[in-house]
Chains A and B, each alone.
Chain A
Amino acid sequence: MIDAAVAGLIAAVAWPAVGYLFLGIALGLYFGAVPGLSGLTGMAILLPFTFGMDPVSAFSFLLGMYAVTTTSDSITAILIGVPAGAAAQATVLDGYPMAKRGEAGRAFGAAFTCSAIGGVLGGLFMGLSIPIVQPLVLSFAKPEFFMLGLLGLTMVGSLSGRSVLKGMTVAGLGLLLSQIGYAEQIAIPRYWFNTTYLLDGLPLIPVVLGLFSLPELVALAVSNRSISDVPRATISGGGIMAGVKDCFIHWWLLLRSAVIGMYIGILPALGPTIADWVAYGHAVQSAKDKSQFGKGDVRGVIAPETANNSVKGGDLVPTVAFGIPGSAAMAILLGAFLIQGLTPGPEMLTTKLHITFSMMWTLIFANIIGALLLMAWANQLQKIVFVPANLILPGITFFVLIGAWTAGNNIGDWITLIVFGIVGLVMKRAGWPRAPLILGFILGRIMENSLHISMQAYGMDWIFRPICLAILAAIVITIFYAVRSHLRLKRDTTTVEVSDAEAGEPKLSLGLSIAICALLVYAIVTAFNWPPTVRLFPLAFSIPALLLAVFAVYFDWRTVRLAPAGAPSAEPAGFGGFPVELIRTFNFFAWMVGVVIATVLLGQHIVMPAFIALYLLVWGGYGWKLALSYAAAGLAVLVVLFDYMSPTLWYPAVLLQWWNG
């Protein structure tokens, strides 16, 4: 084995493999940093270029790229609150608030360092564990997946802060949203409103961007301040090295998060999207002082960023050892195996073991080099948070729109983005937690599919499988501790509330809880028209969620009734007067709707640069020169990055088609 490890090392650093490794890292940093692209996109685009390469070069190229995308995707998550990829969703929760208080450098230092360490640990885990993990991988079948989903849902408590009732209701709403589209059992579409777009369910990225990013964009547009709430001159400390130091101070959390990532990685089909949430939830659950989570706690950056890099080593284990892809990107890597004439499985652990080890070295080197390169740029990158909002907002909006578009190249993705932008804004203002919605949304389909297959394959006996019982015990323990901790939090009036759930506007919260009730009633009534197997899962959670929502209505109604007449509503500080803010918010969404309509008529190549120019001129009050150069840069990005480097299908503009006959 040591011989093979050395042979793998020599192969990984030999020419031309090492050249492809560096090229892969450079491309990976790019694919990770640009919203809308990701390791998955990069893998699909780069795969054909490996046709003529030798196996070690091909895997150095692909894995070098893939290893670092979850390092660079934290850049936009921290700087502008936009997760560049699904794996950076949880990083936004604390990374962006850190940037807002002028600590972007510290957040970068922590994110890049723990990404590198997580990636290296994941690589080592991959190389050392492949020969011995077979029983673990093979023992996690559908029943265990369902129980893991349930365990994941218990994190709702940690992601809900003081409003656990609302958190659980919102998780129910997330589960309901996951039910849109074809049922898992019979080809009966659910909640699809005769819209083909909804047949395959709502896409994750536009939903996440809408819920988390658009409300921040609205806040920036309305206030026209820089992202950082504090002026640049007043920043002391909080630099990159402070973030590096944070990783070593919280080494135990880092290590635990790395293990969570590796563990999720080796489970088939679970990837970085889930690992970052689970690690974040664990960080909150296990913290003694939870008061700063959601407000810029560095531990909220360390946990997801470690896990979303270590998960990749774990991902490779079932892929290489059994030909079972650990995630969607690994499914593409399996294609590379086939193109190279290699067969995952015993061959990779015997005659081709040196190639397996070369993958381990590639992961290790790529994670270290990628993080060092980003560290070198971090000082320049963090300056963005001090730029006036109206100057950077068109650029951010541009990438949010592109990020949502590349989810499915469908105008429906933009409509989803805007709808969830409005939902996210209302939830934020009403003080409802948003993270549980994403958790329910991600876990819903996995849980339903797993439950459905478990029932068919094992009847009710699946519950008594040993690992299921062990996970059940973990669920009970987690709930016990969550309840205990919640009761303590309630008693401790000095503790500040946890998560992004702020004290919201009571009337808005009441309206939202009534709307959720109505939605759940509609969902339940509609579900009764479906065959039993199709309606089982939606009803199983919609009915309890409705009960919770009714309680939420009652508590909100009581709050509204008890509020003294004429008392001002609680508003996040720093915004202008409410009517002005409301009008500007409405205007911002009107711009977004305008972009969608104009795109249908004229296509993205005209509308998106035009949006940049018009926003700067009309909203920002800047001059023609700046507006035109900015718009030209936007067009260049569309053409160079999205037409040539990662070819994208744009909307076929109606007017242009008509014009061209």
Chain B
Amino acid sequence: MFRRYLIASVAALTAAVIPGSALAQMYKGKTVTMIINYPAGGPTDIEGRIIAHHLPAHIPGKPTVIVKNMGGAGGMIGSNFLGEIAKADGETFGFFTWNPIAELLGDPGMRVRFSAFELLAGVENPVVVYVRKDTPPGLNTSADLMKTKEVKALSLDTHNTNTVHQALALDVLGVKFKAVTGYKGLKEVETAILQNEGQLANSSLPGWRASIEPTMAKQGIVIPLWQVAPPGKGGTYPRSKVVPEIQTFEEYYASVNPGKKPSGVPYQAMRAAIDAQTAMFRTFFMPPKTNKAAVVTMRAAIESLWKDEAFLKDYAKAVRSDPVLVSGQEGEAIMASLASVGPDIRTFLKDYGNDLPKRK
């Protein structure tokens, strides 16, 4: 909390003290490098390139912004580069899809914690869970999932948020499922669903809107089950405004268990695993200890970008939904919320991920 106020104060002070022309000098004629921690062509990359295309006009001095993909190790090669090697001179920043579970549980490959970076902003994104309609005995409505004998649930590696929240949600509902993990990306999962290698999976909203909905949902191959919405006020989970037509997990639970609300350690663990992710699916980071003037300038530039009609139009055209910005300060609060997750939930999540492949 103190850190939040400190940054906010420094931001206000810097904006007041440093004149616009000085900020312009900082970036004039410079090349700013945007590190993307996933390979070219993926959803993170597509969004990142649209941002890189429009961002220069919003940074004082209009620097050139170049994109560098540093994919691999679940995004950790790029984040380690930003944390360890990139200079903290304000000329490098990361546009990442981060992994809150890695932050929560630690990871042998994570050399710099996400919380150590200077957080500039984030992009909110709900997650959509979907299922094939021909899963025996056949699904006409999402509630029919409860009638299935066994569903194969496809996902990324076992300790990824994508896997853990999906498996926990199915456990909370009491759905019998087999976790099939190890897919390298959400596109590969989508392909496997199309091939009927498995029946249930989840995707980020851009993946749902731009690919799964038009190629599989509209063809009658899959139906959406629920959205895992970002947390709202007072511990509620209202439907995300960018996908209002799909019920939330909590609504789904109530519809199949009338009068009840999801609760217990598995549900708390599921929320601990996914809340920070949906609240801030993509993140803008600068290296630790980047000078404050650069952090403030870039935060302001990103906020200004989100008011740029041309950017919003290009973004909405590619992602098929409006981007919801999370400001730097809001992002700091989301990051801080991870620290408040208790040791019991952390232990539960660690064991759960380890045990998932062994389950029959």
Contact = CB atoms under 8 A, between A and B. Distances in A.
A321 to B, nearest CB: 10
A525 to B, nearest CB: 20
A409 B194 contact: no
- Chain B contact surface mostly: mixed
Contacts, number: 162
B159 A199 contact: no
B77 A186 contact: no
Contacts of B210: 338, 343
A47 B314 CA distance: 13
Among B40, B77, B107, B219, the one with the most A-chain Cβ atoms within 10 Å of its Cβ is B40
Chain A interface residue number, banded = 35 or more
Contacts of B159: 186-187
Chain B interface residue number, banded = 35 or more
Contacts of B215: 322-323, 343-346
A453 B41 contact: no
B87 A328 contact: no
B77 A142 contact: no
A335 B45 CA distance: 9
Contacts of B192: 141-142, 453
A526 interface: no
A341 interface: yes
Contacts of B329: none
Contacts of A333: 41
Interface stretch (B174-182, B243-251, B298-306, B340-348): B174-182
B152 A185 contact: no
A647 B31 contact: yes
Contacts of B67: 44
Interface string A303-332: 000000000000000000011110011111
A457 B201 CA distance: 14
A456 B31 CA distance: 47
A268 interface: yes
B15 interface: no
Contacts of A452: 182
Interface string A344-386: 1111000000000000000000000000000000000000000
A199 B183 contact: no
Given A331-B40, A533-B357, A199 B194 contact: no
B328 interface: no
B178 to A, nearest CB: 7
Given A44-B69, A51-B53, A335 B211 contact: no
Interface string A189-214: 10000001001110000000000000
Contact of B73 (A139, A200, A657): A200
Contacts of A657: 87
Contacts of B191: 268, 322, 324
B241 to A, nearest CB: 21
Contacts of A269: 188
Given A331-B41, A335-B318, A141 B77 contact: no
B80 interface: yes
Nearest to A52: B314
A334 interface: yes
Contacts of B109: 182, 187, 189, 196, 199
Given A186-B158, A339-B317, A649-B68, 7 more contacts: A139-B195, A187-B108, A322-B215, A332-B41, A339-B50, A344-B211, A408-B77
Interface of A: 40, 43-44, 47-48, 51, 138-142, 181-182, 184-189, 196, 199-201, 268-269, 322-325, 328-335, 338-339, 341, 343-347, 408-409, 449, 452-453, 456-457, 533, 647, 649, 652, 657
Interface of B: 31, 33, 39-42, 45-46, 49-50, 52-53, 66-74, 76-77, 80, 84-87, 107-109, 111, 152, 157-159, 178-184, 187-188, 190-192, 194-195, 197-198, 210-211, 214-215, 219, 314, 317-320, 354, 357
